[in-house]
């Protein structure tokens, strides 16, 4: 492994750790669905069923991972997913080397075409 691949692995592990909760995945998925405009904290809570200090806790972890931001607009706090490229990179990280060590006649679907 190279230092660059070690860094990518460390970053991926950190991001996966932040997503290691069903509630955090729900929050992030809801924000991704809402698009770049995001949702107020109240709307996010209503859509996810997660409110109060629990939602605040999950947003803090997702923000520390660089996946979401919170911005005060007037009297509202707007939450938005910001790491669309990061999420695509994370998916790419998982499949980039798919089957690299598999026998040449074995395909990703698990079917032997030999």
- CATH number of 24's domain: 1.10.10.10
Asked whether the predicted pLDDT for residue 28 surpasses 90, the reply is: yes
Neighbours of 75 (CB within 10 A): 6
As for how many domains the chain has, the answer is 1
Q: Tokens 């990280």 label which residue?
A: 93
Q: Where are the beta strands (DSSP E) in 49-113?
A: 68-73, 76-81
Q: What is the pLDDT of residue 92?
A: 82
DSSP per-residue string spanning 46-63: HHHS--HHHHHHHHHHHH
User: Does some domain include residue 85?
Assistant: yes
Which domain range does residue 8 map to? 3-94
This prediction's pTM: 0.75
User: Does some domain include residue 114?
Assistant: no
Of all helices (H) and strands (E), which one includes residue 1?
none
User: Does some domain include residue 54?
Assistant: yes
Q: pLDDT tier at 102 (50, 70, 90 boundaries)?
A: confident
Assess contact for 16 and 24: CB atoms under 8 A: no
How confident is the model over 42-84, as pLDDT tens digits?
A: 999 999 999 999 999 999 999 999 899 999 999 999 999 988 8
What average pLDDT does range 79-93 have in this prediction? 84
């Amino acid at each position: 492994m190279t230092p660059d691949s070690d860094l990518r692995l460390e970053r991926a592990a950190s991001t996966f750790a932040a997503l290691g909760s069903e509630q955090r995945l729900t929050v992030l998925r809801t924000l991704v669905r809402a698009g770049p405009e995001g949702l107020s904290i109240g709307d996010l809570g209503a859509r996810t069923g997660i409110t109060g200090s629990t939602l605040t806790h999950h947003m803090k972890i997702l923000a520390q991972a660089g996946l979401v931001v919170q911005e005060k607009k007037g009297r509202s706090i707007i939450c938005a997913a910001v790491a669309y490229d990061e999420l695509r990179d994370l998916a790419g990280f998982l499949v980039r080397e798919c089957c690299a060590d598999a026998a040449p006649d074995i395909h990703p679907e698990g079917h032997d075409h030999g």
